[in-house]
Amino acid sequence: MVESKFLPLDGATAVSQAMRQINPDVVAAYPITPQTAVVQNFSQYVADGIVNTEFIPVESEHAAMSACVGSSAAGARVMTATAANGLALMWEMLYIAAGMRLPIVLTVVNRALSSPLNIHCDHSDAMGARDSGWIQIYAETGQEAYDNTLQAMRIAEHPDILTPVMSCQDGFITGHGVERVGILPDEVVKQFVGEYKPRYALLNTDEPVTFGAWDFTDYYFEHKRQQSEVINSALPIIEDVFSEYTKLSGRPQPVLDTWEMDDAEYCIVVLSSTGGTSRAVARGLRAQGVKVGIVKPRLYRPFPAKYIVEAIKGCKAVAVLDRAISFGAPAGQGPLFTDITAALYNEGITGLNIVDYIFGLGGRDILPDQITSVFTDLQQIANEGQRGAMVRYLGLRE
């Protein structure tokens, strides 16, 4: 294990520190709150000559991802960052980056999508991109955002994965929130991420390659199947990278962050910063003798279905907390709930009491009392043997 140096950093700055240490060949980016700090800090590193990166200050997020695609296909190590409307504007290019198997790392500082305009945190931006072929990792803290950025680079560039990675953290809550973040020594990071050796590169002009060919009905389907195979078989490789980083940093990097799940009767499954709030509440309830637990997936794509089912299947009642709505899905449930209930069914578990809570849209605060009320609801569901409403809302004025 290598000692980290601890600094007071906000989550966005923590990511730019990771980017500084990775020293990518190219960064192409465009400003948007609450991601802007990432790009601003990085531009300063470029201006100060601290990194060797070619920074492309593009005129839109679509152009940011377009330039990233060009640079990555050229054979460069490439990173970018965005949020909300910026991610939405990149949409077309997200699929193209993934389809071309380009190992780009994109930091998303999660923010609500318009309309109405709102700059605060929810997960509607990244959740909308969950089927775009990108690997997705969600961070609870600025520390995790830093750690995940480094691991994302390794995962993306792994020769058996070669798939872009979206590394997400909660806008403002961790993105702007200052905390104590441990930074590994530069040399150690350099060794951990290693050197990127592209298999095919446009800049290798001696061996010309064609990227982005026209794929008819006779091949497209097979190519999409291959892409699906890659992301779905990536889990063991991702776990290897996570455990290597765990040993290096001394900070555990599970696929699924579980707290007191061995004997939990009531549990909450939630992504990102709300994992921390939930754990704090759960700790108090445990002290009172209520057997509660918390499950926080770090990895969302590929979806760690088996791990989640294994963790929650013995509970008396489970609450999924979704910071996004899947509009038009049954009862307006959220994407995390949809994925978990599908996973349960596929593992043959149909009798589990499980409910969905939509919370925190547009940055609405999620308070400890609300988490407590979720656990109270779960106990009531278990006691009465009646699930009641499948989809509920936390902190909403009705």
Partner 1 sequence: MTDRIRINLKDIVNNEERLAPGHRLCGGCGEPTIMRMILHAIEGPVVISTATGCLEVSTTVYPTTAWQVPWIHSAFENSATTISGVEAAYKALKRSGKIPADKEIKFLAVGGDGASYDIGFQWISGALERGHKLVYVCLNNEAYMNTGIQRSGATPKGANTTTSPVGDVIPGKTQWRKPFTRIMAAHDIPYVAQAAPHNYRDLMTKVKKAFAADGPAVLNILAPCPRGWRTESDQTMVLTKLAADTCYWPLYEVDHGKTVVNYKPREKKPVADWLKVQGRFRHLFRPAYASILEEIQARIDQEWERLLKEEAAG
Q: Give the residue, chosen from 66, 136, 141, 151, that forms a contact with partner 1 under the rule CB under 8 A.
A: 66
What minimum distance in Å lies between the beta carbon of 388 and partner 1?
A: 47
Q: CA 151 to CA 268: how far, in whole Å? A: 26
Q: Does 217 bind partner 1 (CB under 8 A)?
A: no
Binding string, 131-160, against partner 1, x = CB under 8 A? ------------------------------
Q: Does 210 bind partner 1 (CB under 8 A)?
A: yes
Q: How many CB atoms neighbour CB 359 within 10 A? A: 25
What minimum distance in Å lies between the beta carbon of 69 and partner 1?
A: 5
Q: Give the residue, chosen from 31, 70, 128, 395, that forms a contact with partner 1 under the rule CB under 8 A.
A: 70
DSSP SS3 for 250: coil
Nearer Cβ to partner 1 (218/262): 218
Residue 60 DSSP label:
S
**Residues making up the chain, counted from first to last:** 398
Q: CA 301 to CA 74: how far, in whole Å? A: 26
Nearer Cβ to partner 1 (95/393): 95
Span near partner 1 by CB under 8 A; candidates 82-90, 106-114, 202-210, 336-344? 202-210
Q: Does 219 bind partner 1 (CB under 8 A)?
A: yes
Q: Does 325 bind partner 1 (CB under 8 A)?
A: no
Q: CA 376 to CA 281: how far, in whole Å? A: 12
DSSP SS3 for 298: coil
Q: Give the residue, chosen from 2, 33, 182, 211, that forms a contact with partner 1 under the rule CB under 8 A.
A: 211
CB 276 within 8 A of CB 141: yes
Only one residue has tokens 């980083």, namely 245
Name the residue type at position 85.
N
Span near partner 1 by CB under 8 A; candidates 91-99, 137-145, 267-275, 308-316? 91-99
Q: How many CB atoms neighbour CB 79 within 10 A? A: 31
Residues 6+ apart with CB under 8 A from 268: 278, 282, 292, 293, 294, 295, 318, 319, 320, 321, 371, 374, 375
Nearer Cβ to partner 1 (114/204): 204
Q: Give the residue, chosen from 3, 6, 44, 92, that forms a contact with partner 1 under the rule CB under 8 A.
A: 92
Q: Give the residue, chosen from 5, 49, 59, 398, that forms a contact with partner 1 under the rule CB under 8 A.
A: 59
What minimum distance in Å lies between the beta carbon of 325 and partner 1?
A: 29
Q: What Å distances lie between residue 296 and 49, 140, 257, 299, CA to CA?
A: 39, 9, 5, 9
Nearer Cβ to partner 1 (204/376): 204
Count of chain residues binding partner 1 (CB under 8 A): 44
Q: Give the residue, chosen from 9, 12, 38, 73, that forms a contact with partner 1 under the rule CB under 8 A.
A: 73
Q: Give the residue, chosen from 25, 140, 147, 377, that forms a contact with partner 1 under the rule CB under 8 A.
A: 25
Q: What Å distances lie between residue 139 and 128, 258, 265, 313, 388, CA to CA?
A: 17, 14, 25, 24, 31
Q: Give the residue, chosen from 4, 21, 41, 71, that forms a contact with partner 1 under the rule CB under 8 A.
A: 71
Q: Are strands 178-183 and 391-394 parallel, antiparallel or unpaired?
A: unpaired
Q: With the CA atoms of 272, 67, 88 and 82 taken in that order, what torsion angle do they form, in degrees rounded to the nearest 10?
A: 30
Q: Does 46 bind partner 1 (CB under 8 A)?
A: no
Q: What Å distances lie between residue 182 and 2, 75, 145, 317, 352, CA to CA?
A: 11, 31, 11, 36, 39
Binding residues (CB under 8 A) for partner 1: these are: 25-26, 28, 52-54, 56-60, 62-63, 66-76, 78, 92-93, 96, 100, 201-205, 208-216, 219
